[in-house]
């Protein structure tokens, strides 16, 4: 399977603990996005990378959240001092660069990591 | 700011009947519109998109969507529903970003649960 992969698929943690999620985008996709989806809501944008550069962060991304994409390939999303309100599905998506440097209009989503904070 | 509204939380149809899942949008410029489907424990799967051109867009699995600029709508349709179409459907609009660049973040609606009865 050459799609976007995310690990772990499920994470249960106690409030106050730190967690880290990993996303492996489709090979050679230069753009990578993180979204959060809570129950009954659509996905909400968190942050976005173009290669290794983090170009935008949503106001939803508090200072307890940090994302990296050190080599422009996989990305990690860390949540420090988790709170019950952090319980959600965390989705990663990637998008390729087209010929001529144009950006694809399509984002390919991974299966998500479901976080439960007790 | 970009936004999407899906006025129906649930749509129920009998197998073989036509289905419509509604979506309205608000954008500051030209809309880039998308439909995604989400099955349980799966990531979002791309169905179709409208960028420009014909107002009737055809996508995967026999789905199509009609772009209506005057009504700012992008309703998803299928002539004959299947039980296997039962899933959560999301409409999304893309952020065109600032002049000279596109960020590509998607703004999603809350989703519509489609149930097709045999």
Average pLDDT, chain A: 91
Does residue A5 contact residue A110 with C-beta atoms inside 8 Å?
A: yes
pLDDT, residue B97, reads 57
Positions of E strands within A25-87: 31-37, 44-50, 53-57, 65-68, 75-79
Helices (H) and strands (E) in chain B, counts: 0, 12
Q: Residues 38 to 57 of B: which have CB under 8 A from any A CB? A: 41-46, 49, 51
What's the residue count for chain B? 118
pLDDT, residue B100, reads 42
Question: b/e for B53-63, b at 16 or more Cβ within 10 A?
Answer: eeeebebeeeb
pLDDT, residue B42, reads 78
Q: What does each of the 118 residues of chain B score in pLDDT, given as a tens digit?
A: 788 999 999 999 999 999 999 999 998 878 889 999 999 877 899 999 998 888 999 999 999 999 999 999 999 999 999 999 999 999 999 866 554 445 678 899 999 999 999 9
Q: Which helix (H) or strand (E) holds A112?
A: none
Question: b/e for A59-85, b at 16 or more Cβ within 10 A?
Answer: eebeeebebebeebbbbebebeebeee
A73-89 pLDDT tens trace: 999 999 999 999 999 99
- For residue A107, which residues of chain B lie inside 8 Å, CB to CB? 46, 104, 106
Nearest to B91 by CA among B3, B19, B29: B3
Q: Residues 71 to 110 of B: which have CB under 8 A from any A CB? A: 90, 92, 94, 102-110
d(CA A81, CA B74): 41
Q: Does A28 touch chain B (CB under 8 A)?
A: no
């Amino acid at each position: 399977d050459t799609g976007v992969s995310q690990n772990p698929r499920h994470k249960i943690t106690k409030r106050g603990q730190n967690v880290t999620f990993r996303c492996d985008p489709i090979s050679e996709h230069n753009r990578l996005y993180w979204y959060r989806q809570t129950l009954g809501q659509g996905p909400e944008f968190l942050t976005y990378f173009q290669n290794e550069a983090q170009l935008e962060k949503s106001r939803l991304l508090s200072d307890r959240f940090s994302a990296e994409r050190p080599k422009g390939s996989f990305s990690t999303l860390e949540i420090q001092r988790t709170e019950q309100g952090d319980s959600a599905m965390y989705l990663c998506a990637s998008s390729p660069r087209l010929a001529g440097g144009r950006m694809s209009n399509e984002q390919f989503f991974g299966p998500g990591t479901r976080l439960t904070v007790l | 700011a970009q936004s999407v509204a899906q006025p129906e939380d649930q749509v129920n149809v009998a197998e073989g009947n036509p289905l419509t899942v509604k979506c309205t949008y608000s954008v500051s410029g030209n809309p880039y519109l998308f439909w995604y489907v989400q099955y349980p424990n799966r990531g979002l799967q791309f169905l179709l998109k409208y960028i420009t051109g014909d107002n009737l867009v055809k996508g995967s699995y026999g789905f199509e969507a009609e772009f209506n600029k005057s009504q700012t709508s992008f309703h998803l349709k299928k002539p004959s529903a299947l039980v296997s179409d039962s899933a959560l459907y999301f409409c999304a609009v893309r952020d065109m970003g600032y002049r000279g660049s596109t960020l590509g973040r998607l703004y999603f609606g809350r989703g519509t649960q489609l149930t097709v009865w045999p």
